[in-house]
Amino acid sequence: QPVELDETGRAQATAVGERLRGLPLATVVTSPLIRCRQTLELALPEAPPMVEEGLIECGYGSWEGQPLKKLAKDPLWPVVQQHPSAAVFPEGEAMAAMASRAVAAVRSWDARVSAEHGPEALWLACSHGDVIKAIVADALGVHLDLFQRIVADPASVTVIRYTPLRPFLVRLNDTGGDLSGLVPPPRKRRRT
């Protein structure tokens, strides 16, 4: 749902912004949902994001806005938790479809940024927990049915480096500390 950031969310966004400020980000993209746009307004106000529909949260359909206590009694709940690749939300989206579109969006943006700024370029995507977990599962070569084992806390940093052969998970659910190790080394000039 279009839920805005609360006081805790604003504090988390500001804190992650302090960590991200030293990174030379070539591009910033975001889910269209307001909480992601607000996160970036607070974290990186000088970097206007591009909106990417593929990064939107899973379409939970009639589950949206329902308390978890109620949803946990729904027969679909154990499917979502143990066999998410088979989960299709009533009046909503299939988890597998969400994973597919999110991975396609990230890979497309990575190819675009790499083509324009070079393969070492850093870029940022702001999205949602299940979306991030699905992208990480893909990067690890892990079946979507195991993605509930991955944690993606609010305002955490997860870093994936895509290469022509395979992706590498560089950081996962990083909620504190220095990010300067992500800055690519200076490009070497070729001698002629």
Q: Which of 123, 121, 124 is closest to 184 using CA atoms?
A: 121
| Segment 124-172, tens digit of pLDDT | 999 999 999 999 999 999 999 999 999 999 999 999 999 999 999 999 9
In this model, does residue 192 exceed pLDDT 70? no
Instruction: Report CA dihedral (28, 103, 185, 175) to the nearest 10 degrees.
Output: 70
pTM for this entry = 0.94
Produce one character per residue of 53-80: b if its CB has 16 or more CB atoms within 10 Å, e if not. ebbbbbbbeebeeeeeeeeeeeeeeeeb
Rounded distance between C-alpha atoms, residue 43 and residue 49, angstroms:
11
| Segment 35-68, tens digit of pLDDT | 999 999 999 999 999 999 999 999 999 999 999 9
Rounded distance between C-alpha atoms, residue 137 and residue 114, angstroms:
22
Confidence class for position 1, pLDDT limits 50, 70, 90: low
Instruction: Report CA dihedral (35, 36, 37, 43) to the nearest 10 degrees.
Output: 110
